[in-house]
Amino acid sequence: MAPPTDQELQTLRTALKRCSPQTIEAAVQFRTTGDASVLPTIVYGIIERHLAPENNRSLADAGDDTRLIEDLGIDSLTLLEIVLSIEETIKISIENEELREIRTLGEVKAFITRKLARQEGAVEEPAAKARRYDRPEIVMRLPQQPPFLFLDEAEIEGDTVRAKYHVRGDEFFLEGHFKDNPVMPAAIVFEAIGQAACLWVLEVAPEQLRTEVKSNEVLFASMEEAHFYRRAKPGDVIEMEATLERLRAPLAVFRGSATLRGERLAKIEHLVLAFGHEVLENLDHKESAGESEAASGAGSNGAGTGAHALAELMPGTTDRVPEAAGARVNPPVDPALWRAEGRR
């Protein structure tokens, strides 16, 4: 493993900033020296960071027989996020088939130790040429359509997609946002960044994963640390960028940002899209089942409708599913994002 640069170490610290200081320092030590004795600290720290509040605990004294699902309450999507973080931190690759054999903390430690021992050096691939898209080309590819399309041009280069949107002033939502003072809503800016990420998933993910991803099979899963800094008004050109952090079917994790005249407009530290026909089929199936239960009075409060849509993707796990984007809109604007307007 080549010694990391200062920039790589800073990126590592940023990626693990929600983990404990001990986890971060152990990760830096491993990347710098290759000391395998700190692996349990790294892995346990990453797992602890993803535990739900009701299951939050220190794993330092947990036994090797502690079960990930039954004892720690880790669901299928959370497990994938944990795996993605571990892969990025210690630079290994874990296949989905291998995950099915990992059920306890002891098996996690043993697996990673074996994986590092036999991992071969990866061959660096040549950089891909940039792909450019004008608005008609974007319309042909994205499920979002006017008047709910907020990309006028885009460029994909490697793991990064860059896009622009010209705020014309005749957008339907500006009539009431705000009276006599049209301002681009923060939620729409976040939506535009999500649309750029969606374009990357549709154009590049199928090549990297060697699988088909249809335009109506991309769903908004989650977003963390979304911030809005200034106002965009008619006549402004918003420039957006989304960079892939991790990719493993059915999840793509991005870091996104938007600028206005070179100044920071918005950023999203952690944007997750879910994709693939399995996600959509399981979601539709479970939602239909939930509707049937509700109609017959079997559902107690309706809160669980579609709550197990991803169960069959990773058998034996509990479930946390992305919000459905509907048949044609992806990823959708989360109404809660409108509260971000108050950050201006």
Which positions are catalytic?
A: 177
Q: From CA 32, how far away is CA 11, in angstroms rounded? A: 14
Q: From CA 332, how far away is CA 118, in angstroms rounded? A: 42
Specify whether the CB–CB gap between 90 and 30 falls below 8 A. Answer: yes
Q: Which amino acid is at 91?
A: K
Q: What is the DSSP string of 75-122?
A: BHHHHHHHHHHHHHHHT----HHHHTT--BHHHHHHHHHHHHHHPPPP
User: Burial of 178 by CB count in 10 Å (0-12 exposed, 13-18 middle, 19+ buried)?
Assistant: exposed
Q: How many residues does the chain have?
A: 344
Q: From CA 140, how far away is CA 133, in angstroms rounded? A: 10
Residues contacting 179, CB < 8 A, separation 6+: none
Burial 80-94 (b: 16+ CB within 10 A, else e): bbbbbbbebbbeeeb
DSSP 181: S
